[in-house]
């Protein structure tokens, strides 16, 4: 059978990607067999220490309060700064990952990039640390709120004015990264947090630049990312990412366009019985028009045009920057609303 390394859900032999988080599945032995993978590799080192750090103080500064999440490669804790009482999120890498020399080289490079991303709409890396006994951890601001994917699942579809605000915030955070020559390249609803603000509003925060890379990748980074290995979540990857081609900010614009479509319609614009079919559809097919996915949005022709441009297969045909896409969406939504009001007044006479 196959198993998701992130959430642990199991699938039959034909499945290749997790339907929950898009992770590539790994082949595992049948129940009752040896706890080794079918390929013969033993289980990674025990993670009992990494997953039970409550009460420990890291770097003489961060006191671990409680575990707030875990995945296949890390554990996330809430911690407090002993001196300031400020709260932080600390991601502790699994023993298997922290012992992987290539993965650590990549992480150190990404941490140096992430430290330059301080912005209200980005959850940036504050520092990368390592304890004497081998625990490797990343310190980030603690961000409270609701994950966008959870909100999508809870509400089904989001009001267009709310979507416009979220897209504006996400675009602002992405633009800071893009100006530093960083492409997120794993933008998805699971990597966006909707956070309450002191004035009673909300702001969207882009999380987890763990797959981010410098746009002008040098030979070392190209070696680390391993030619031919696609990094990202299949549902939201751009065509050029699926083809393994060079990436730039327009690949994040594509992913943001898919996310916007999903927020508005509750669906993705490409369909398929498997992840592979969905990926092929993005390479060969046109997206389902918004008015067909969500008939109640049929009057929003301008918004449909904006999404269509953002999801063009050729990056040259898309919006150049994330703020440009966000601005076009806001303008289209406003004009569509005004036109609808005008028509409503006309037919009411």
- Residues recognised as catalytic: 186
How many angstroms separate the CA atoms of 43 and 52, rounded? Answer: 19
Residues 6+ apart with CB under 8 A from 40: none
How many angstroms separate the CA atoms of 42 and 164, rounded? Answer: 48
Longest dimension (CA), the chain: 78
**Cross-strand partners of 334:** none
Cα 273 vs. chain centroid, distance in angstroms?
Answer: 23
Distances (CA, A) of 13 to 1, 7, 120, 266: 5, 17, 43, 29
How many angstroms separate the CA atoms of 145 and 88, rounded? Answer: 14
How many angstroms separate the CA atoms of 267 and 283, rounded? Answer: 18
How many angstroms separate the CA atoms of 322 and 140, rounded? Answer: 24
């Amino acid at each position: 059978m196959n198993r998701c390394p992130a959430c642990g859900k199991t699938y039959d032999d034909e499945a290749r990607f997790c339907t929950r988080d898009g992770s590539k599945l790994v082949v595992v032995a049948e129940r009752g067999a040896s706890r080794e993978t079918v390929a013969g590799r033993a289980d990674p080192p025990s993670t009992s220490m990494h997953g039970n750090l409550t009460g420990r103080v890291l770097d003489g500064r961060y006191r671990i309060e409680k575990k707030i999440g875990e995945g296949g490669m890390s554990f996330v804790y809430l911690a407090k700064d002993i001196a300031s009482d400020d709260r932080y999120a600390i991601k502790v890498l699994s023993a298997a990952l922290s012992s992987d020399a290539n993965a650590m080289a990549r992480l150190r490079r990404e941490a140096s990039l992430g430290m330059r991303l301080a912005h209200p709409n980005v959850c940036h890396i504050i520092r990368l640390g390592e304890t004497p006994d081998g625990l490797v951890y990343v310190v980030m601001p603690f961000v409270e709120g609701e994950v966008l994917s959870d909100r999508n699942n809870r509400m089904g579809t989001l009001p267009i004015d709310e979507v416009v605000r979220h897209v504006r915030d996400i675009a602002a955070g992405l633009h800071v990264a893009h100006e530093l020559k960083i492409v997120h390249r794993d933008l998805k609803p699971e990597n966006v947090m909707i956070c309450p603000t002191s004035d009673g509003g909300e702001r969207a925060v882009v999380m987890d630049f763990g797959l981010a890379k410098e746009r002008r990748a040098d030979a070392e980074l190209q070696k680390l990312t391993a030619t031919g290995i696609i990094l990202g979540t299949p549902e939201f990857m751009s065509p050029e990412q699926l083809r393994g081609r060079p990436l730039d900010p327009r690949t994040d614009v594509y992913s943001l366009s898919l996310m916007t479509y999903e927020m508005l319609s509750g669906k993705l614009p490409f369909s398929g019985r498997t992840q592979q079919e969905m990926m092929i559809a993005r390479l060969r097919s046109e997206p389902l028009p918004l008015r067909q996915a969500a008939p109640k949005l049929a009057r929003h022709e301008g918004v449909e045009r904006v999404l269509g441009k953002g999801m063009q297969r050729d990056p040259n045909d898309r919006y150049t920057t994330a703020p440009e896409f966000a601005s076009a969406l806001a303008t289209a939504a406003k004009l569509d609303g005004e036109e609808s009001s005008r028509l409503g007044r006309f037919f009411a006479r």
